[in-house]
Structure 1
């Protein structure tokens, strides 16, 4: 009787080349870490909001908040590095291009909450390819990203502007009002950032606002065109 070798015991595994094994491992890693990262992402949104909105936190609470933010950053960084280095060398640049939000979430808190939104892609209906499903996916993503984008820019600008000389944005109400009128291209001019960092975030918000409005307009035009096509006499 021939001994059972690893090749005979696991023929499919041994048939895979090394690159395929690494990609399979990365997929298992992503599946196992999805829920923990969702929880950490939600916790980060709450903690970062507390840190930005409440100006004078008690020392103990401030230490806890900062520790939580640092821990979440370390976890997100570790997750990204594991996935990147497990990816075969010939596929790493493609991985980076396909996971831009993940990379940005490591560098900027603004994008850390967006990783939770990416999980919407796993909803069966939103992953379809029909015209209606594609448009629904765009609308859901657009709405979620727009809300998170405006909200986090408001928090970032508030942190940059609070206490600055000549600042017109002093609390969260001021910051969210300024962010909303700016992204809508209204810009009343009653509030505006005065610091370099605050103005940098303002430029990001303006660029994002153009993209949001442009995408929304394209979705509306597509929907109207489809309705007209359905009611057009054959």
Structure 2
């Protein structure tokens, strides 16, 4: 039996994931709020920056606890890191937690007999939510890394948002580009995510159109009087 099959056949892990995904998504939003406050708050607002840092630390501790519980309930031990690579990635880089939007929605839908949205509507919803949260996270990270760097073209948070929009949509105007090594790593990751999201939306739209045309063809021309 494969590691993946073992993980999926653990009832305790499945129950934990269904119960914890939505609260952890809220925690990820709080983490993002704390990080945004820490990055964007003026340097003289020490109280707010300290509160934001405490919020970020508390939310990350929740992520660590959740990760430890998942390892214990899975029964996989150290193999959990490889089988659940997305969980490991977002633990190390919490700003990537928006990538778990799909798993959150899936966990919620498992509590219902049927999804409330069609497949195509769900793809659009996933892509929209992921683009918004991932773009905002990337803009924060790049602004944090770039705005004080020598020769940087991303000096304000507005510049960072513009850069994130251009990168996610694969337009890439080139008027704002990261110059630091870590900033370019963030940019490469956002490019990959932008291509994946664009491919998902394009593929879903094409499939929907093909099925719509096929249904029209099956109806045939109206019968003449």
TM-score under structure 2 normalisation? 0.80
Aligned to 2:186: 201
Change (3 A) 1:188 1:63: same
My pick for the range that moved more, 46-55 or 167-176, is 46-55
Q: Which has the higher contact order (CA 8 A, sep 6+)?
A: 2
Cα pair 2:101 2:126 within 8 Å, conserved: no
Task: Give 2:3's aligned residue.
Answer: none
1:169 paired with 2:154, answer: yes
CA positional deviation for 1:176:
0.6
Report the equivalent of 1:212: 197
Alignment of 1:36-115 (within 5 A): 36-56=23-43, 58-89=45-76, 93=79, 97=83, 99-115=84-100
Q: 1:208 to 1:38 in 2, by over 3 A?
A: closer
Alignment length (residue pairs): 212
Gaps of 5+ in 1: 1-18
| Stretch moving more, 44-53 or 115-124 | 115-124
Distance 1:32 1:186, change over 3 A: closer
1:117/1:69 CA distance change after superposition, 3 Å: farther
Which residue is 1:9 aligned to? none
Tell me if 1:187 matches 2:172: yes
Query: Alignment partner of 1:232: what SS?
Result: helix
Distance (Å, rounded) in 1 between the aligned partners of 2:124 and 2:44: 38
5+ residue gaps, structure 2: 1-5, 221-225
| 1:227 maps onto 2:202 in alignment | no
Per the alignment, residue 124 of structure 2 pairs with: 139
Cα distance between partner residues in 2 of 1:138 and 1:95 = 27
Shift of 1:25: 3.5
**Pairwise CA RMSD:** 3.1
8 Å contact kept, 1:161–1:169: yes
Instruction: Sort the Cα spacing of 1:127 and 1:54 in 2 relative to 1 into closer, same or farther, 3 A.
Output: farther
Give the Cα separation in 2 of the matches to 1:200 and 1:44: 21
